[in-house]
A and B are shown apart, each in its own frame.
Chain A
């Protein structure tokens, strides 16, 4: 994953908030976005096209121990 252009991110923030972040802030944003992209790739989140949607509560219930006990 390549690092996004900090100036482009600064434009994005400026268009939302009406003020431009510093160059240093924009660099930090770019690094953060890059890190998230890498983490999603590690989770194989880029290949979701053929996966069925799942409900969080259902998955948690399936993975829980029997309701009455803790062992």
Chain B
């Protein structure tokens, strides 16, 4: 029998709804596992078992009373520690906000709770969501459950670690340059960066207004679709959120018929310098897609190199606008790498920043018309090399720092500037046992296609059945 903690989110929710397990039992299982493995993985900043059990008991009472139950009823989640809840400390992974108590609650948290989800606490993250490895100068690095010597990826490091470690059934991350897709890829999870404006950012710590997106990390594509469907849609409290209707994401994930479709493979940029092991895994995944009836076509991507550079400059410039006063008055309260990266962005000319914003719609149009006139989804690497160790990437503010960050975000960052949806999909394991993944990219607001193609591969490949051993997690 599958341990409760190893169920998918969808199956756990079904069992609670059908009375096969109580929300309390599910929550206690997560708590026990967290007590056993949480310190080793260093994935929580704040852990609230009592609060979660109280929510679980309330969920069980509502079910007993015959109330209508939401799609996440009674299922424990936890989130990157940057989603505000009124009156509850939200650190943003920082010393500066160590005691910060927000005066509002994030709309995404409100929506998850309305759908019945529980909250076990705040998860570790890169300081102010500004770092792709998962290192954190103040709280220490979250650790990869597949091998705790390795990074989780960041900035949603604790989200990747906790979900892959089977401590919780799903978690929100945020993605400005790859911060959902990278930890999902490195921890063997599904993780989506939705289309820009698809999900409300009200009550969410800002890093870059133009690029910040909110999305989940989960163990299956269908789990990812379910959470995304709950949190997506217009929010009157976030005027930048889209009014476009939300498509049937979970329905797409349960309809994995991709016969007669076309999958695009980049002819340029994305495979430059990619490690042979990754190249081989991605080729194998394309063979799976061919076997499912899709045609694989080569596509030339316009502006690929430039969008990566501009995406980085845009996020950095907008970050410095938020951090300038603290950077001037409290520099020693930042970790060395975050401080160095923020200071570096002060040099970007205002004219360059405004040009990057002004040209963006034209660049998006050029990319979408060139790529999606040839294919339904784009299939490409998300990380070009095997998951590195924590020690290898502990570069702080050294001269190697810029290259390491550029290399790590090379495949993820262009998609943020292009505002497109991107989904990380697990694609097996390296020779050293660490997860391998690919990225699916779609047209604006076509998350449904990503879930359909992701679920089709997941079902055919079977990687989803594998999970980290207790020895890997040190438990």
Known: A25-B340, A25-B344, A29-B347. A59 touches B305 (CB 8 A): no
The answer to whether A42 touches B305 (Cβ under 8 A) is: yes
Name B322-354 residues within 8 Å CB distance of A: 324, 327-328, 331, 340, 343-344, 346-349, 352
A24 at the interface (CB under 8 A from B): yes
Q: Which of A17, A57, A60 is close to B346, meaning CB atoms less than 8 Å apart? A: A17
- How many Å lie between the Cα of A31 and that of B364 in the bound state? 26
The answer to whether A60 touches B328 (Cβ under 8 A) is: no
Residues of B within 8 A of A21 (CB): 343
Residues of B within 8 A of A68 (CB): 245, 247
Of chain A, the residue at the smallest CB distance from B247 is A70
Q: Which of A19, A33, A43 is close to B359, meaning CB atoms less than 8 Å apart? A: A43
- How many Å lie between the Cα of A4 and that of B347 in the bound state? 10
- How many Å lie between the Cα of A55 and that of B242 in the bound state? 12
- How many Å lie between the Cα of A12 and that of B365 in the bound state? 36
Residues of B within 8 A of A56 (CB): 196-197, 360-361, 364, 419
Of chain B, the residue at the smallest CB distance from A54 is B361
Contact with A along B195-209 (1 / 0, CB 8 A): 111000000000000
Residues of A within 8 A of B310 (CB): 36, 39-40, 43
The answer to whether A19 touches B331 (Cβ under 8 A) is: yes
The answer to whether B419 touches A35 (Cβ under 8 A) is: no
The answer to whether A17 touches B364 (Cβ under 8 A) is: no
A2 at the interface (CB under 8 A from B): no
The answer to whether B247 touches A67 (Cβ under 8 A) is: yes
- How many Å lie between the Cα of A20 and that of B195 in the bound state? 39
The answer to whether A18 touches B445 (Cβ under 8 A) is: no
- How many Å lie between the Cα of A33 and that of B346 in the bound state? 10
Per DSSP, chain B at the interface is helix
Residues of B within 8 A of A32 (CB): 313, 344, 347-348, 402
* Minimal beta-carbon separation of B454 from chain A (angstroms): 12
Of chain A, the residue at the smallest CB distance from B245 is A67
The answer to whether B313 touches A36 (Cβ under 8 A) is: yes
Contact with A along B238-281 (1 / 0, CB 8 A): 00001011010000100000000100000000000000000000
Residues of A within 8 A of B307 (CB): 39, 43
* Minimal beta-carbon separation of B426 from chain A (angstroms): 21
Contact with A along B167-211 (1 / 0, CB 8 A): 000000000000000000000000000011100000000000000
Of chain B, the residue at the smallest CB distance from A51 is B362
- How many Å lie between the Cα of A9 and that of B310 in the bound state? 19
Residues of B within 8 A of A30 (CB): 347
B449 at the interface (CB under 8 A from A): yes
Interface size class of chain B, counting residues whose CB lies under 8 Å from the partner chain? 35 or more
* Minimal beta-carbon separation of B387 from chain A (angstroms): 26
Of chain A, the residue at the smallest CB distance from B249 is A70
The answer to whether B355 touches A60 (Cβ under 8 A) is: no
Per DSSP, chain A at the interface is helix
Residues of B within 8 A of A37 (CB): 352
Of chain B, the residue at the smallest CB distance from A21 is B343
The answer to whether B355 touches A46 (Cβ under 8 A) is: yes
* Minimal beta-carbon separation of B352 from chain A (angstroms): 5
Q: Which of A9, A46, A67 is close to B347, meaning CB atoms less than 8 Å apart? A: A9
Residues of A within 8 A of B376 (CB): 71
The answer to whether A64 touches B352 (Cβ under 8 A) is: no
The answer to whether B365 touches A64 (Cβ under 8 A) is: no
- How many Å lie between the Cα of A24 and that of B327 in the bound state? 19
Residues of B within 8 A of A33 (CB): 347-349, 352
Residues of B within 8 A of A18 (CB): 328
The answer to whether A36 touches B309 (Cβ under 8 A) is: yes
- How many Å lie between the Cα of A71 and that of B453 in the bound state? 11
* Minimal beta-carbon separation of A36 from chain B (angstroms): 5
The answer to whether B348 touches A64 (Cβ under 8 A) is: no
B3 at the interface (CB under 8 A from A): no
Name A1-28 residues within 8 Å CB distance of B: 4, 9, 12-13, 16-19, 21, 24-25, 28
Residues of A within 8 A of B324 (CB): 16
B399 at the interface (CB under 8 A from A): yes
- How many Å lie between the Cα of A69 and that of B243 in the bound state? 16
Residues of A within 8 A of B369 (CB): 63
- How many Å lie between the Cα of A17 and that of B324 in the bound state? 8
The answer to whether A24 touches B444 (Cβ under 8 A) is: no
The answer to whether B359 touches A45 (Cβ under 8 A) is: yes
B79 at the interface (CB under 8 A from A): no
Residues of A within 8 A of B313 (CB): 32, 36, 39
The answer to whether B359 touches A48 (Cβ under 8 A) is: yes
Told that A32-B402, A71-B261 touch, could you supply 13 new A-B pairs with CB distance under 8 A? A13-B346, A16-B346, A36-B348, A36-B352, A39-B307, A45-B355, A45-B358, A60-B419, A63-B365, A64-B443, A64-B444, A67-B244, A70-B448
| Cβ-closest 3 pairs across A and B | A70-B448, A39-B309, A54-B361
A-B contact pairs, 9 of them (CB 8 A): A16-B324, A16-B346, A25-B343, A40-B306, A43-B359, A45-B358, A60-B242, A60-B445, A64-B445
